Amino acid sequence: MSAAADGVDAPSGAPGIALSNLTKVFATDRNEIVAVEDVSVATERGAFTSLVGPSGCGKSTILRMLADLDTPTAGGVSLLGRSPADLRRLGKLGIVFQDAALLPWRDVRANIELAVQVTGVSVPRGAVDDMIALVGLKGFEGARPAELSGGMRQRVAIARALITEPEVLLLDEPFGALDEITRRRLNLELLHIWAARRTTTLLVTHSIEEAAFLSDMVLVMSPRPGRIVAEVPIRFPRPRGRGLLRTPDFHAVTAHLSDLLAGGEAHDGEP
Amino acid sequence: MTASPETSAHTSAHVAPQNRSVPAWVETALLMTLLLTGWEVLARTLLANSFALAAPTEVALLLFEQGPLFLRNVAATLVTALKGFFIGNAIAIALALGIVLLPAVEKPLFSAALAIYSVPIIALAPILLVLLDRPDAMVALSALSVIFTTLVATTLGLRSADPLTLDVMHVLGGGPVSKLRRVRWVAALPSLFAGLRVAAPAAVLGATVGEFMGADRGLGVLITGALASLETTRVWAVAVLATLVSGGGYVAIGWLGRRLTPWVAGMPVTHAIDPTAALQRVSGAMKAGRLLRTLAINLAVVFGGWALFIELAGLNTFFAKGPADVWAYLVTDADAAGNRTLIFGGLAVTLRNAGLGFLTGLAGGTLAAIVFVLRPSLERAVMPVAITLRSIPILATAPLVILLLGRTLTATTVIIAILSFFPTMINVMAGMRLTRVALIEVLRTLNASRWTILWRAELPSALPAIMASARIAVPASILGAVIIEWLITGVGMGNAILSGVYNADYTVLWSVAAVLTLVSMGAYGLIALAERAVLRRYAPEQLR
């Protein structure tokens, strides 16, 4: 890989997201499905990591365990050296799903404030207004979700995740339901917002381009049972801009990731 | 705030398939057996002399011993109810087809149907019994009891057809009739069956109310007899019979519906539980100005239809009174003041009775829904029992509650509360379940407690369901109150009806029917307005 590496975004060295021999088995009435099998990964604090893989490879299952929404069958997960449950109790987690999951009866401002009310985290005066401006929703403070487009709703969901200044940000296909144009724009904006605080982030996505554009590290997963087949460091300098998408280096990285994903499928017995 | 074990249990019930050790029906069967055995033991030991509980075996024995007597009476009611069920539903379905093919007639037709729904049949019964042949009158009461729910359910069903499929039909050259036949009709079946299921117990209630007023045989006769004797085992036996007759129809039609519409199994159930609750789109979702206009249409339909009916039917003017007669009776007659005291004094008592029961039932149903949503394990075991209890008609609960609590205000309140308790509980649970799973997970990740999720997300999601339940419970509560007053306590509007029947004063009876209908429709309209305000805030998408 010929991507330029420089010292600007040097990793911190402190522990970020750690999975150790993580296994998750779902038991149904008839049989057991191994969703994640013996996955071990360690990222560093402040790193943006992406998890890519085909549908049903266990990406979201890993994210759910990191969000304390699910518990491992075997092995362990930790965030910044602590358990997800600890971090959750401290109100230090932020999460965004593909479904914006807004309260339909609250306007934009109140939906963002919900996170403050629920976590009990205190935010400085004017922080909500700043956040609204940051995600580009100035002028829509009083709008209800029904009056917003899909992209705008997702901006609200991101603002709700960021307003409490979480230590770890978990993104599960946050732009998966949006059109390609909106998706690219939101990725660019997300990158700007993220760069300001360098929150430890895990993004689950189908999109190789999205993963390569945003991440310090891309983890490629194989389908069932979910395993990590490659850890690909992405060393493009930050700040990254739209121009990066057109560089040969970027194409080389996405091609490499595509090959790894295809290899994962071949490995599974698909032609 | 810390997470409790229930928190994870709740979410996993929402998200992951649960690992059940025993099927739900086994749990339910166990619970039922436990209940019956405990009952038997209690009735034969501790409460043997309380006159409240009859042991299940005693009830079964009485039912067996006097089988022919019971069968004769039940058969009479069944025949009446079946006729009423078919006639009423045929009318309702024809009207619904008319509405879909000719949308212009929707407003007045719905107004008329709502008026029919709001007339307490107990007030109508003595009038119909003198205007028609006795058996015909009972069939008519039974038919009137089903029209509204079936009309609403069928119309909603016909309109629920997938617009894309209709577009495809359109491009292929299909006209309104072929769309109706090939697409809409089939799309309407699930909703239609949900409506018919609710109509079955209603038809039995209509037939029985007619029998209360004087019949040789029938369930109504058994109930009045049991109430007169207050013989414990007999009251229980009659209650069991009443439940079997009206619950049997409910279950049978539910089964038939599932057989005939197998594709429904995987569909999201929105209004399949109670189609009348989905009526918010028809009536709750009106703009305030349109609501006033609707009110005017309603009044015109009620009074115009009434006056026209009297005029055209050429009925005996001794029995048949028009709006003018009622106006004279209440306003211009010499003794109008005394008449008003009878009618409006009675109305005050009836409204208090109905209101207490209505509020109790609504609050109780909402609380029960909260408990079940917080404890899904409890819900799994109790819900089937609750759904069974839901189909126990007022015909069975009234004598039982009187037996247990006496002829008291508490008893009246409980009987009326039960009418709205179960529908409210089921609607509110469905409403709370509308909360997006992703939203609950976001809140959990933000360290929200179970109560926070309930308070901030699930309960507000259920508010439209609570309002819809309240709206449809209004006429039922008023009807329940008058039935109890007429049958048991002899106060309020029930007393006014009794005095009208006793003195053969048909103006009183028409006045009672008119006043109760107006009050019922008015309360329905007020709640629809409040519901609109709630919808505007909590479910704006339903207002489109």
- Helix (H), strand (E) at residue B350: helix B336-374
Q: Do B442 and A164 touch (CB under 8 A)?
A: no
Report the alpha-carbon distance of residue B277 to residue B513 in Å, rounded.
Answer: 25
Q: Do A89 and B537 touch (CB under 8 A)?
A: no
pLDDT at position B288 over 70: no
8-state DSSP, B1? -
- Picking from A54-68, A201-215, B44-58, B126-140, which range would have the lowest pLDDT averaged per residue? B44-58
pLDDT (0 to 100) of residue B306: 82
SS3 B64: helix
Q: C-alpha angle with apex A93: A92 to A97, nearest 5 degrees?
A: 160
Report the alpha-carbon distance of residue A69 to residue A270 in Å, rounded.
Answer: 32
pLDDT at position B281 over 60: no
Higher per-residue pLDDT: A187 or B107: A187
pLDDT (0 to 100) of residue A66: 93
CB contact B177 to A (< 8 Å): no
Chain A closest-CA separation from residue B542 CA (Å):
11
Phi, psi dihedrals of residue A218, rounded to the nearest 5°: -115, 125
pLDDT (0 to 100) of residue B4: 36
Number of Cβ within a 10 Å radius of residue B248 = 15
CA dihedral A52, A55, A59, A64 (to 10 degrees): 140
Chain B closest-CA separation from residue A95 CA (Å):
6
Give the mean pLDDT of B298-313. Answer: 80
pLDDT at position B195 over 80: yes
Q: Which residue, chain included where needed, has tokens 């602590």?
A: A82
**Residue B73 near residue B217, CB atoms below 8 Å:** yes
- Helix (H), strand (E) at residue A23: strand A15-27
Q: Do B444 and A69 touch (CB under 8 A)?
A: yes
pLDDT at position B15 over 60: no
Q: What was the ipTM of the complex prediction?
A: 0.76
- Picking from A25-39, B13-27, B271-285, B396-410, which range would have the lowest pLDDT averaged per residue? B271-285
User: What is the rounded average pLDDT for all residues in chain B?
Assistant: 79
pLDDT (0 to 100) of residue B253: 86
Report the alpha-carbon distance of residue B258 to residue A79 in Å, rounded.
Answer: 49
Q: Which residue, chain included where needed, has tokens 């978990």?
A: A170
Token pair for B88: 């009423």
Q: Do A85 and B3 touch (CB under 8 A)?
A: yes
Report the alpha-carbon distance of residue B118 to residue B276 in Å, rounded.
Answer: 13
Phi, psi dihedrals of residue A219, rounded to the nearest 5°: -100, 125
Residue B272 pLDDT grade (very low, low, confident, very high; cuts 50, 70, 90): very low
Chain B closest-CA separation from residue A53 CA (Å):
21
- Picking from B80-94, B354-368, B388-402, B498-512, which range would have the lowest pLDDT averaged per residue? B388-402
> How, if at all, do strands A74-79 and A15-27 pair?
antiparallel
Q: Which residue of B has its CA nearest to A89?
A: B447
- The Cα-based distances of B371 to A202, B358, B392 in angstroms read 36, 20, 22
Phi, psi dihedrals of residue A93, rounded to the nearest 5°: -105, 145
Residues of B in contact with A28 (CB under 8 A): 17, 19
Give the mean pLDDT of B390-413. Answer: 80
Q: Which residues pair with A79 in a beta bridge?
A: A17, A82
Report the alpha-carbon distance of residue A164 to residue A174 in Å, rounded.
Answer: 18
Peptide bond into A225 cis (omega under 30): yes
Report the alpha-carbon distance of residue A101 to residue B170 in Å, rounded.
Answer: 36
pLDDT (0 to 100) of residue A78: 93
Residue A63, classified by CB atoms within 10 Å of its CB into exposed (0-12), middle (13-18) or buried (19+), is buried
Residues of A in contact with B11 (CB under 8 A): 69
pLDDT (0 to 100) of residue B14: 38
Query: What is chain B's length?
Result: 544
CB contact B441 to A (< 8 Å): yes
Report the alpha-carbon distance of residue A142 to residue B131 in Å, rounded.
Answer: 60
Higher per-residue pLDDT: A248 or B449: A248
Q: Do B446 and A118 touch (CB under 8 A)?
A: yes
8-state DSSP, B20? -
Name the pTM for this structure.
Answer: 0.75
CB contact B20 to A (< 8 Å): yes
Give the mean pLDDT of B319-332. Answer: 83
Chain B closest-CA separation from residue A264 CA (Å):
27
pLDDT (0 to 100) of residue B289: 67
**Residue B511 near residue B339, CB atoms below 8 Å:** yes
Chain B closest-CA separation from residue A259 CA (Å):
33
SS3 A52: strand
Report the alpha-carbon distance of residue B83 to residue B327 in Å, rounded.
Answer: 35
Report the alpha-carbon distance of residue A214 to residue A50 in Å, rounded.
Answer: 8
Q: Percent of chain B, pLDDT > 90?
A: 7
Residues of B in contact with A99 (CB under 8 A): 436, 438-439
SS3 per residue for B451-506: HHHHHHHHHHHHHHHHHHHHHHHHHHHHHHHHHHHHHHHCCHHHHHHHHHHHCCCH
Closest by CA to B524, choosing from B194, B207, B282, is B282
Residue B145, classified by CB atoms within 10 Å of its CB into exposed (0-12), middle (13-18) or buried (19+), is buried
Q: Do B446 and A85 touch (CB under 8 A)?
A: no
Residues of chain A with pLDDT under 70: 1-12, 264-271
Q: Which residue, chain included where needed, has tokens 């005066």?
A: A125
